[in-house]
Amino acid sequence: MSNQHTTPSILSSDLAVTGSISSDGEIQLDGTVEGDVRASAITLGEKSVIKGEVVADIIIVRGKVIGKLRGRQIQLAATARVEGDITHSTLSMENGAFFEGQCRHASDPTNNPRKAATPKAAAPVTKAPAQQVAPPVMGTRKQP
């Protein structure tokens, strides 16, 4: 059975979970989680508090996260409060969103480094010749 048309799993605001949560489908969290959360898509409601790592292809944050976010597409709503590092392919933040941490772009942010292939098993990598690019010089042109 394909999970493309399944209903998201919902954890309501009166629910507190201690431990990790994992799903192959979509999760909507409105409660409190002390542990890591992993799914294909995760929506964190305004009253949600997550203390742990959040990993999904699509992550929408409206609540509070204390921990890392790793996702292909991450959206921080105006009510979001994130205290931790973000690794993403695309990131958007609305006015009012709070983010404290480091932000890094990655082509595959959801890849678990512990499960990555060893260099012996990896395909050979061909590097393009390096080119030097001069940085732009700002403020050198005089205005009339």
**What's this model's pTM, rounded to 2 decimal places?**
0.73
In this prediction, residue 65 carries a pLDDT of 98
Query: What φ, ψ does residue 113 adopt, rounded to 5°?
Result: -60, -25
Q: In this predicted model, what pLDDT tens digit does every residue of 4-61 receive, in sequence order?
A: 557 889 999 999 999 999 999 999 999 999 999 999 999 999 999 999 999 999 999 9
CB atoms closer than 10 angstroms to residue 45: 19
Nearest CA among 77, 78, 108, 102 for reference residue 90:
108
Burial of 57 (0-12, 13-18, 19+ CB in 10 A): middle
Quote the tokens at residue 3.
Answer: 């999970």
**Residue 28 bridge partners (DSSP):** 10, 43
Within 13 A of 15's CA, how many CA atoms are on the CB side? 12
110: confidence class by pLDDT, cuts 50, 70, 90: confident
For residue 79, is pLDDT > 70? yes
Burial label, 97 (beta-carbon count in 10 A; 0-12, 13-18, 19+): middle
Q: What is the pLDDT of residues 112-140, one digit of tens each?
A: 544 433 334 444 555 555 555 555 555 55
Q: What are phi and psi of 14, to 5 degrees?
A: -90, 10
